[in-house]
Amino acid sequence: MADWIVGVDVGGTFTDFSARDLRTGTAHIHKRPSTPDDPSRAILEGLKELQQKTGISGADIARFAHGTTVATNALLQRKGATVRLITTKGFRDLVEIGRQVRPLIYDLQEDAPAPLVTRSNRIEVSERIGAWGEIVTELTEAEIARLIAELKAAPKVESIAVCLLFSFLNPVHEKRVAAAIRAELPDVYVSISSEVQPEFREYERFSTTLINAFLQPEVGRYMDRLKTAIAEVAPNAKFGIFQSSGGLMSIDKALEFPVRTALSGPAAGAVGAAAAGAKSGIGDIITLDIGGTSTDVCLIRDGQTEIAHVRDIAGFRIRLPMVDIHTVGAGGGSIAHIGPDGLMKVGPESAGAVPGPACYCKGGTKPTVSDANVVLGRLPASLAGGGMIIDRDRALEAVRSIAEPLGVSVVKAALGICGIVSSNMTRAIRAVSTQKGHDPRDFALMPFGGAGGLHAADVARALGITQIVVPAAPGILCAEGLIEADLQENFVFTRRTPLDGPLDEIAVGVAQLDGQALEWIAAEAGGAEDAWRQLTLDMRYVGQNYELPVTLGRSGEAPGLPDTDALREAFFEAHQRSYGHVDREAPIEIVNVRMKAVARLGQIAPIAAQPEGPARASEYHDVWFDEAAPVSTPLYPRSTLEAGTRLRGPAIITQFDTTTVVPPWATVSVDTALSLILEIDDAH
């Protein structure tokens, strides 16, 4: 009987696996190096290793959930399809004009990234939908025939984006163009903006659709290859792809809308963090997900991840619901170097999985954050359960290569590397907390990823955070989040409406979205335990340029629209929280209606092996916490730390998937959920 769920998260350095039995709660984890040339290779090899280690047969796997970085990497490296853009006459330069925002506000020489489609590949058609959805210029059959002839005469491309003006109000012209292209050019991928994101703001909608078209062939080939391979290994498994909004979607949806996977892996980590926090009774969390290449941070309030609707990834604008994650190029593989100003910098370049940090003995020679931690005595002699041996001499040699030009000791250089990377992480956390009206001191810090526990105490101390929560399996929390995730779909309806006027059109929009949500639940949520819908209105003061999401609760029944006074108060509350003030006399308007449909998948709490105490040190390391002198520090296997254990720092806690550093100015205890709770003495 198929009862196992397997979650697989592909990172820049490691590919992580988490498996859970839906009958008993038995849980297993696994970790192996990623294969950047073909991420599916690490998935298949790692799945085979997991099965050999645990005895799980392929036929026993009921659900396979995958967090992928393929879309993100394709954007970062611009390794996508050659795209053609079809747009309304007079608007082919819109994707290049954009919002006229400079990439670096103080650098007048820095150019914005070139559009993903060249100007010669942007084709205009004579048609026009007006600002109220009316047809201003009819799209004739002759114009469609001219377009098809031009496409056939031009060099062949893999993908086409159709972005017509105001199609979010009336998609009839886009649908006719798309139907003609699909009929005449069946081998070409077609993305239309009224399907990718039917929402106002032309540039953002055009950009999102163009990115979707750019990604479709590359992601499609990867998904097809992986789907076929997984079907052979696990024939009974339902395949789910994690999307940036925090839920799973079918692989067919992922093939149709690959832009939704742009933040797939990091979003899964935020979902896993919320679930881990709930087990410890902590709902207000700031995450610190440190991998080999980057650090992702996210703010979780009352157990719910913050959601953003506009993000720039690799300089390209995406307008879709996404878990609000801030990413910096700071990870275990980040390379230290001397900048043009003669000062040491760390990142964003990373040694990645290949060749990796020098201490991994895979060919890397440049000094990285991991090498600095080895020099400082903060890492054990082996990682991943002995699967990776650490070479301290190579780490010393690598760090010495930057210490000597700077005229400092190897230890001082290593402390500098760790200090700089911690400062980069601190700035990232301020971007999701202080800059958005949240005091980080009101939150617990939750580090995860392979290197989260190494830097959490320094980051927390700098921010004034007094509590750190390290979940039971922090190194594979993104994979855990994939198991905890539910099926999810988001719908949107744009209709700019004054709050003081009749809301009939908004009510029509709510009913329309509810119908779409019910259709999705019927089509996609087979086997789910239950389903619900959540209604959100995007509202703003008249004259403002950006909106605030006002969530109106969730329900298993048809969501109702509150009265005007209730909507006004809900908006005031959201505005006060975000900006610290409200104007009760200013006119308010509704811009978008959003509905999220969620199908709850079967879950069971994981049952992991219980620690066997009492706590006992396996060895001692000389660890440098500052430049004064090393401190003899015990290394405790986490498998010996029972619930109720309390230890005073310094200490280093080791486990299969990560290492946690407890400095002399911190205390660690173990709660009933087996999470480590670090208390910082003098956070300021």
Express each pLDDT in 626-684 by its tens digit. Answer: 988 999 999 999 999 999 999 998 999 998 888 999 999 999 999 999 999 999 987 55
Q: Which residue has the tokens 């902590």?
A: 282
Indicate if the pLDDT at residue 207 is higher than 60. yes
The two structure tokens encoding residue 205: 């909608």
Angle formed by the axes of helices 264-279 and 70-77, nearest 10°: 140
pLDDT, mean of residues 546-571:
86
pLDDT at 684: 54
| Distance between CA atoms of residues 339 and 294, nearest Å | 20
> pLDDT tens digit string along 578-637?
888 999 999 999 999 999 999 888 777 777 778 887 888 888 999 999 988 999 999 999
* pLDDT value for 2: 67
Sign of CA pseudo-dihedral 211, 214, 220, 222: negative
How sure is the predictor about 266, in pLDDT bands with cuts at 50, 70 and 90?
confident
Give the per-residue pLDDT at 612. Answer: 82
- Residue 272 pLDDT more than 70? yes
- pLDDT of the residue at 536: 94
pLDDT at residue number 384:
59
pLDDT at 527: 66
Task: Let me know how long the chain is.
Answer: 684
Closest CA to 31 of 386, 305, 500, 492: 386
Please, which pLDDT band fits residue 376 given cuts at 50, 70 and 90? very high
Mind listing the pLDDT tens digit for each residue in 63-84? 999 998 888 878 877 888 899 9
Contact 207, 318 (CB under 8 A): yes
Mean pLDDT on 45-66: 91
Check whether 1 has a pLDDT greater than 60.
Answer: no
Average confidence score pLDDT of the chain:
90
Residue 297 has pLDDT above 70, yes or no: yes
Give the pLDDT confidence score for residue 387 in this predicted structure. 60
Q: What is the pLDDT of residue 159?
A: 96
Quote the CA–CA distance of 650 and 634 in Å, as a whole number.
Answer: 7
Task: Give the mean pLDDT of 183-197.
Answer: 95
| Strand 135-137 to 248-250 pairing | unpaired
Q: What is the pLDDT of residue 386?
A: 53
Residue 573's contacts (CB-CB under 8 Å, 6 or more residues apart) are none
Report yes or no: 259 and 75 within 8 Å, Cβ to Cβ: no
DSSP secondary structure of 323-351: E-EEEES-STTEEEEE-TTS-EEEEEEE-
pLDDT tens figures, 424-469: 999 999 999 988 888 999 999 999 988 899 999 999 999 999 999 9
**Which range has the worst mean pLDDT, 212-216, 517-521, 604-608?**
604-608
Enumerate domains of the chain plus CATH numbers.
4-74+220-261 (3.30.420.40), 78-218 (3.40.1360), 334-420 (no CATH), 486-600 (3.30.1490)
- SS3 assignment for 459-514: HHHHHCCCEEEECCCHHHHHHHHHHHCCEEEEEEEEEEEECCCCCHHHHHHHHHHH
pLDDT above 70 for 188: yes
Over range 231-260, report the average pLDDT. Answer: 91
Neighbours of 582 (CB within 10 A): 17
CA quadruple 294, 299, 304, 308: dihedral sign:
negative
What pLDDT is stored for residue 385 in this prediction? 57
* pLDDT surpasses 70 at 553: yes
In this prediction, residues 557-580 reach a mean pLDDT of 88
> How many whole angstroms separate alpha carbon 148 and alpha carbon 136?
22
- Dig out the tokens for 360 from the structure: 């991994």
Whether 654 and 454 have beta carbons less than 8 Å apart is answered as no
Cis peptide before 447 (omega within 30 of 0): no
Which residue type, as a one-letter code, is found at position 299? L
First to last CA, the chain: 54
> Looking at the predicted structure, is the pLDDT value of residue 93 above 60?
yes
DSSP calls for 249-281: EEHHHHHH-GGGGTTHHHHHHHHHHHHHHHHTT
In the DSSP assignment, the letter for residue 139 is -
What are 148's two structure tokens?
Answer: 């098809």
Q: What's the pLDDT at 261?
A: 92
Q: Confidence class of residue 263 from pLDDT cuts 50, 70 and 90? A: confident
Q: Average pLDDT for residues 88-111, to the nearest whole number? A: 85
Say how many CA atoms lie within 13 Å of 203 toward its Cβ: 14
Predicted structure pTM score: 0.88
Residues 6+ positions from 621 with CB-CB distance below 8 Å: 377, 378, 632, 633, 635, 652
Give yes or no for a contact between 479 and 29, defined as CB atoms under 8 angstroms apart. Answer: yes
